[in-house]
């Protein structure tokens, strides 16, 4: 099952007037990060970043001056989303801003029907407890030291870890739930499925840039990281 954990940053809080300025996402396959991610800064048309929003995410008008408009990146966003299940924290906020941008381009809206809201999940699982992303990272002892201010990609990376914990932690992520669990749709955990290898492996859908960024990320995990055993050797550029 393909899922996209995503986050957005905006010029303010009013989705009908404010604009999207950043979007980031992490791809999961059967609840395990694939290493594929998406990130774009977006120049808001005719809208300045509100000072209160700037204090939260630190994205200034000057930083966005040379960035593409939403219309220039919409196809990239929708292609990355595909038909995956979308996961966001306080999802109605992100989806409203996405749909407002899509409506300006007369594009179909994203339905909330298949969207998972980790804020609501956390409130059901931990009633009366703080349910912000920061609070959940603290609860699950997720390292946030690399996070200075809110950012769409780094928050997506943190939220992916929070989401895995909310659905059962590492056991769910590694597909080790018992055979008696419901693996069909309709469950927040999605259950586990038995995956048979393809007779002929599919070709890679990653771009060279994505592969190099994944390689750089794996390099930060330490010498004992499991991913290192699956990392292909870097391809050297032939000398001219």
Q: What is the pTM of this model?
A: 0.70
Does the annotation mark 150 as catalytic? yes
> What are the φ/ψ torsions at residue 35 (nearest 5 degrees)?
95, -10
Residue 34 sits at the vertex; the CA angle it makes with 6 and 199, to the nearest 5 degrees, is: 135
Q: CATH 3.30.420.10 in the chain: give the residue spans.
A: 2-193
Distances (CA, A) of 29 to 99, 167, 200, 221, 238: 25, 14, 19, 20, 34
Which of 31, 57, 89, 150 is catalytic? The answer is 150
- In percent, how much of the chain has pLDDT > 90? 65
Q: What is the CATH number of domain 2-193?
A: 3.30.420.10
pLDDT category at 236 given cuts 50, 70, 90 is low
Beta-bridged to residue 3, according to DSSP, are: 28, 85
> Does residue 38 register a pLDDT over 90?
yes
Which residues, other chains included, contact 226 with Cβ-Cβ below 8 Å and sequence gap of 6+? Answer: none
**pLDDT value, residue 53:** 94
**pLDDT value, residue 176:** 37
Q: What is the pLDDT of residues 175-216, one digit of tens each?
A: 433 333 444 333 333 433 444 555 666 666 677 777 788 778
C-alpha neighbours within 13 Å on the C-beta side of residue 158: 26
Contact of 70 with 105, CB cutoff 8 Å: yes
Average pLDDT over residues 86-103: 97
- In percent, how much of the chain has pLDDT > 70? 78
């Amino acid at each position: 099952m393909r899922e996209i954990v995503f986050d957005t940053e905006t010029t303010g809080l009013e989705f009908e007037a404010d604009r999207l300025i950043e979007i980031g996402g992490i791809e999961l396959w059967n609840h395990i990060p694939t290493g594929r991610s998406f990130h774009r800064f977006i120049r808001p048309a005719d809208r300045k970043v509100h000072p209160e929003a700037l204090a939260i995410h630190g994205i200034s008008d000057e930083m966005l001056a040379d960035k593409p408009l939403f219309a220039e990146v919409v196809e990239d966003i929708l292609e990355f989303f595909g038909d995956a299940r979308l996961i966001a924290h306080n999802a109605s906020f992100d989806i409203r801003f996405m749909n407002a941008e899509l409506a300006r381009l007369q594009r179909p809206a994203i339905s909330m029907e298949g969207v998972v809201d980790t804020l609501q999940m956390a409130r059901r699982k931990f009633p009366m407890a703080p349910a912000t992303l920061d609070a959940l990272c603290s609860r699950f002892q997720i390292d946030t030291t690399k996070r200075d201010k809110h950012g769409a990609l780094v928050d997506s990376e943190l939220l992916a870890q929070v989401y895995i914990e909310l659905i059962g932690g590492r056991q769910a992520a590694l597909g080790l739930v018992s055979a008696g669990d419901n693996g069909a749709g309709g469950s927040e955990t999605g259950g586990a499925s038995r995956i048979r290898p393809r007779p002929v492996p599919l070709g890679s859908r990653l771009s060279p840039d994505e592969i190099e960024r994944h390689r750089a990320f794996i390099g930060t995990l330490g010498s004992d990281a499991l991913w290192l055993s699956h990392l292909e050797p870097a391809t050297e550029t032939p000398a001219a």
